Chains A and B, each alone.
Chain A
Amino acid sequence: MTVREIGALLRTRKTSCVEFLQQTFREIKTRDSFNSFITLTPDLALAEAAARDRELAEGMDRGPFHGIPIAVKDIFYTVGVATTAGSLVFGDFIPDHDATVVSRLRTAGAISIGKTNLHELAYGITSKNPHYGFVLNPVDPTRIPGGSSGGSASAVAAGFVPMALGSDTGGSIRIPASYCGITGLKPTYGRVSRYGVLPLAFSLDHIGPLGSGVEDCALAMNAIAGPDPLDASCSQAAVPDFNLPPRTDLKDVRVGLPRNFFFNRVDEQVSAAVHNSLSMMQTLGAFIHEMEIPDLNAVNTAARVVQLAEVAALYAGRHDAALFGSDVWDLIQQGKLIAGYEYVNAQRLRTLFCEEFNKLWRVIDVLAAPTTPVAAPGLHETEVQIGDEWENTRMASTRLVRAVNYLGIPALSMPCGKTTSGLPIGLQLISSPFSEAKLLQIARTLEPLLGSLNR
């Protein structure tokens, strides 16, 4: 169910917030074999639900999220509730305040039901957490949900909540959205406050929603986006209405179809589904502009240097390898090998790459591409086969999404069909800085056409 659908049930008194929350917790108890959550907070949630019911009875409606259950990735501070980051390092950490985005959603009436599982420290894409259990993909539990926001994605894909908060440093919202067949938005850098969110890589971290559909993400953006005096990296840019109604067509929308990079080394079924989505956009009147784009392999290389160094800066002082999963520990050690001048040069290259890439927005409104080159890999596949080639699962999963974090531009992943074995395929739509409202509206317009392919 979507935020709107649950809201309609509550407002027509077909159910109460308390009854709906009780049903949600029953569902999780009987059906969550996916390890979506690290901590559930039924007592807190039911108390909030009772308060939201009283408000509705008194005629007070906080808006679309009034009484709606949501889930929060376990790197967001939640007052009085453990925030582990899926790590032993933060195993005992109980924040004394909420992250800005958690607080904003609470004010909007949303009720957090708990903290979702994730790849340890949000540093990886499998969500095979060695400390809190592997998160499984609800579409096919023998496969990874993607990560690092794997628990948030699985909670939405399993239908426990219509929206969950995630974070995206190198694809961590869009990869799990793609693998689990849901929608995920990584907004522009600075659009959403990161105050009270455990950092991974300061200049690459983004906060955003994962939703059962595009509107769930748009409504979440209305609740969470905007300036925050508590976060110096948060933009002062004006906040529009992110939930614009779907258009009747896509006339005057210029869609870039990249000739290079995005369709190299991509599974045939993924490529076909994304091209089919482009045909649908064309049917709706969009102008499809085939084009060469800047070299994103180069951008990925520089982005990896930035990420490795920034994460190492946070954990270089930790010397007890036993506290970490071996994959995360190795990445931290690799980051310590990056020299200071190399990090600075990676940030200097960022200046050039941003200038170069932003020229695209003079000729197109949105770039369409696959989110991931393959559908969800098996739980134990360390490599994936693409055509005749084999590629490391982490590198393949991040290959088409990482550059967007470094460039700071918004990107959304939405389901655009399934493989013959029934696994979801993700369409990635990328647009210019601070154009999320337009991006979401284009996605909402396209969504009904893709709907039948996703069932």
Chain B
Amino acid sequence: MISQEDANRENQKIIDALRKEFELLTKRLDHEVEPALTFMLSPSIEAES
């Protein structure tokens, strides 16, 4: 059984590693890219089909 403190530390470590990979990806974004919130109504993928 690990303590809550240890678990929190481990969770932070996992997110830090994820964040490091993710930050590299965000370099691909310029100001014109909008979030895929419309994804939730599917028009963007319907347009492709």
- Chain B's interface size range is 20 to 34
- Contact across chains for A351 and B33 when beta carbons are under 8 A apart: yes
Task: Report B1-49 residues with CB < 8 Å from chain A CB.
Answer: 4, 7-8, 10-12, 14-15, 18-19, 21-22, 25-26, 28-29, 33-37, 39-42, 44-46, 48-49
- Contact across chains for A235 and B46 when beta carbons are under 8 A apart: yes
Query: A265 within 8 Å of B by Cβ?
Result: no
Q: How far is the CA of A375 from the CA of B40 in the complex (A)?
A: 33
Task: Report A79-114 residues with CB < 8 Å from chain B CB.
Answer: none
B47 CB, min distance to chain A CBs, angstroms: 9
- Chain A's interface size range is 35 or more
- Contact across chains for A233 and B34 when beta carbons are under 8 A apart: no
Q: How far is the CA of A394 from the CA of B44 in the complex (A)?
A: 31
Task: Report A282-325 residues with CB < 8 Å from chain B CB.
Answer: 298, 301-302, 304-305, 308, 321
Query: Which residue of the partner chain, among A188, A321, A337, A349, contacts B15 with CB atoms under 8 Å?
Result: A337
Q: How far is the CA of A432 from the CA of B45 in the complex (A)?
A: 9
* Inter-chain CB contacts under 8 Å: number: 105
**A351-B15 contact, Cβ under 8 Å, with A298-B25, A408-B39:** no
Chain A, residues 335-377, CB within 8 Å of chain B (1/0): the string is 0011000101111111110100010010000000000000000
> Which residue of chain A has the shortest Cβ distance to B8 in the bound complex?
A333
B residues near A (Cβ < 8 Å) are 4, 7-8, 10-12, 14-15, 18-19, 21-22, 25-26, 28-29, 33-37, 39-42, 44-46, 48-49
- Not counting A233-B41, A333-B11, A352-B28, a sample of 20 additional A-B residue pairs whose C-beta atoms are within 8 angstroms of each other reads A190-B41, A233-B40, A233-B42, A237-B42, A298-B25, A302-B22, A304-B18, A305-B22, A321-B4, A326-B7, A342-B22, A344-B35, A348-B33, A348-B35, A354-B39, A354-B44, A354-B45, A408-B39, A432-B48, A435-B49
